Amino acid sequence: MAGHQSVLLRLVARAALLGATCVLAGAAAAAPTPAGAWHQREAAIMGTRIAVELWSRTDAEGEAAIDAVMAEMRRVDVLMSHYKPESQLSRINAHAGEGPVRVDRELFDLIARSLDYSRLTNGAFDITYASVGYLYDYRHHVKPNEAEIEAHLAAVDWRSLELDAKNATVRFRKPGMRIDLGGFAKGYAVDRSIELLKARGIEHASVSAGGDTRILGDRFGRPWMVGIRHPDDPQRVILRIPLENIALSTSGDYERYFDENGVRYHHIIDPRTGHSASKVRSATVIGPTATQTDGLSKTAFVLGPEKALEILSRIPDVDAVFVGPDGKVYYSPGLTPPTR
Ligand code: ADP
Ligand code: MG
């Protein structure tokens, strides 16, 4: 598995070397495609755009496989959404300050996994960011003032999240704590979808939920091409990355935000300060699973290239691309920058 992935990362490096505009010309000639067809569909679920594209031998199989992915996205959304008052996540936020709240094993395991990322990143990834994060309302241009941030910042503390694995319960050890899985759940849902497609015998697919994508197989002798957009222009792709059997997540300051007095207030929060992180405009992480790359893209965004690369270098098969405030692009050592 690891060997396989390192070959893929070399593929990324080689193609990146060719530059954004001629990557496809450098790709291998397409192998003959067997009987069947590509199917694709988009839907709005989990507060974002879900996009599925896959190859299947029959139309019925293809459409049924996409139906199954969309159903899985809805299921994960119901389990983990903080918008839906009936979700288990909302129950945790409403009651875990009073005592342990029992949740489904699946949700419990995901919360437990999120703590692994908090540990790994010294708290740059922290689902309790929401203790301050909920004070922002990007759509209505609402942000907390310094005093409000100050009052809530102590509750941003993943170490005060008490998990009881035996009983699958979650408890908040500090007043005012909240959690939010917005930085993890989409990657998880994408991974679940890919597993589900594999179980149906699908061998070529791409599943995206917002900035989180996972790729299954290739496109018959060619890699899938995934673009990283320009932070200020959704139509402009600054880099195309050829990928096979891998996941990629991008976190950007242009997804949910508002600007005020020259400051951008956006949805990726530095847990140390309670403010929107501002070291980079976007951070993309490439790695084996989308749950992993989703968690790590926030980390990369919050910490910026230098510190993030130090942490990412300790994780096997993970690479990253950053777009700095001045538009400069930074790459992890595993990738070769395009020469243009
Ligand atoms: P998308 O939601 O499009 O996948 P991201 O992967 O960049 O975008 O995730 C952004 C989300 O991550 C935010 O909306 C919020 O729910 C969550 N988040 C923000 N800051 C942090 C943080 N420091 N640690 C963990 N999750 C965070
Ligand atoms: Mg994401």
- If you measure from the C-alpha of residue 185 to the centroid of ligand 2, how many angstroms do you get, rounded to a whole number? 8
pTM of the entire predicted model: 0.91
Question: With a 6 A CB cut-off, is 123 part of the ligand 1 pocket?
Answer: no
- If you measure from the C-alpha of residue 297 to the centroid of ligand 1, how many angstroms do you get, rounded to a whole number? 9
- If you measure from the C-alpha of residue 30 to the centroid of ligand 2, how many angstroms do you get, rounded to a whole number? 31
Strand partners, 250: 284
Question: With a 6 A CB cut-off, is 298 part of the ligand 1 pocket?
Answer: yes
**Model pLDDT, residue 340:** 58
Helix/strand/coil (H, E, C) string of the chain? CHHHHHHHHHHHHHHHHHCCCCHHHHCCCCCCCCCCEEEEEEEEECCEEEEEEEEECCHHHHHHHHHHHHHHHHHHHHHHCCCCCCCHHHHHHHHCCCCCEECCHHHHHHHHHHHHHHHHCCCCCCHHHHHHHCCCECCCCECCCHHHHHHHHCCCCHHHEEEECCCCEEEECCCCCCCCCCCCHHHHHHHHHHHHHHHCCCCCEEEEECCEEEEECCCCCCCEEEEEEECCEEEEEEEEEEECCEEEEEEECCCCEEEECCEEEECCECCCCCCECCCCCEEEEEECCHHHHHHHHHHHHHHHHHHHHHHHCCCCCCEEEEECCCCCEEECCCCCCCCC
- The total of other beta-carbon atoms located within 10 Å of residue 152's CB is 21
Question: With a 6 A CB cut-off, is 269 part of the ligand 1 pocket?
Answer: yes
Q: Which atom of ligand 1 is nearest to the CA of 181?
A: 16
Predicted confidence band at 32 (pLDDT cuts at 50, 70, 90)?
low
Give the mean pLDDT of 133-152. 97
- If you measure from the C-alpha of residue 59 to the centroid of ligand 2, how many angstroms do you get, rounded to a whole number? 30
Compute the residue count for the chain: 340
- If you measure from the C-alpha of residue 251 to the centroid of ligand 2, how many angstroms do you get, rounded to a whole number? 6
Q: Which atom of ligand 1 is nearest to the CA of 294?
A: 6
Atom 22 in ligand 1: residue holding the nearest Cα = 125
Atom 4 in ligand 1: residue holding the nearest Cα = 211
Condensed to tens digits (0 to 9), the pLDDT of residues 317-333 reads 999 999 999 999 999 99
Question: With a 6 A CB cut-off, is 126 part of the ligand 1 pocket?
Answer: yes
Asked if residues 216 and 205 have their Cβ atoms less than 8 Å apart, the reply is: yes
Condensed to tens digits (0 to 9), the pLDDT of residues 79-137 reads 988 777 888 999 999 999 999 999 999 999 999 999 999 999 999 999 999 999 999 99
Atom 12 in ligand 1: residue holding the nearest Cα = 183
Condensed to tens digits (0 to 9), the pLDDT of residues 278-334 reads 999 999 999 999 999 999 999 999 999 999 999 999 999 999 999 999 999 999 998
- If you measure from the C-alpha of residue 250 to the centroid of ligand 2, how many angstroms do you get, rounded to a whole number? 7
Question: With a 6 A CB cut-off, is 56 part of the ligand 1 pocket?
Answer: no
Question: With a 6 A CB cut-off, is 129 part of the ligand 1 pocket?
Answer: yes
The rounded distance, in Å, linking the Cα atoms of 185 and 123 is 18
Question: With a 6 A CB cut-off, is 186 part of the ligand 1 pocket?
Answer: yes
Q: Which atom of ligand 1 is nearest to the CA of 251?
A: 7
Largest CA distance in the chain: 64
- If you measure from the C-alpha of residue 301 to the centroid of ligand 1, how many angstroms do you get, rounded to a whole number? 10
